[in-house]
Amino acid sequence: MARPPVSLTVVLPADIAAALAAAASQRGWTSESLAADCIGQSLEVAIRHRVALERIDQVDAALLELAKAVSAVEEASAPLDLSDFCRYKSGG
């Protein structure tokens, strides 16, 4: 079921409103439709940015847990040569 549209009131400075009206009329659009598209695109970018930051936080937390696990294994056993765990080894 589609949600009903939400009504917003946007108050713009005169120079921005004039630029909006000019850009919209050049393309045969209304100022309102162009403003709605701009707001929608900005919200999409903001949502994607927020999701990216959340994922970075998740990766950071996972790396911290991995470091703790490696440290615990290292403390519980004989010293390990961790170079065997890395696919990018120096010296060929």
Q: How many CB atoms lie within 10 A of CB 35?
A: 19
Alpha carbon distances (Å) from 16 to 1, 20, 39, 48, 69: 36, 6, 14, 26, 55
**DSSP reduced 3-state for 30:** coil
Percentage of the chain modeled with pLDDT above 90: 64
**DSSP reduced 3-state for 13:** coil
pLDDT value of position 84: 67
pTM value surpassing 0.85: no
| Domain boundary assignment for the chain | 47-76
* CB neighbour class for 17 (10 Å; exposed up to 12, middle 13-18, buried from 19): middle
Tell me: the pLDDT tens digits for 46-79?
Answer: 999 999 999 999 999 999 999 998 888 878 776 6
pLDDT value of position 92: 53
- pLDDT over threshold 90, residue 80: no
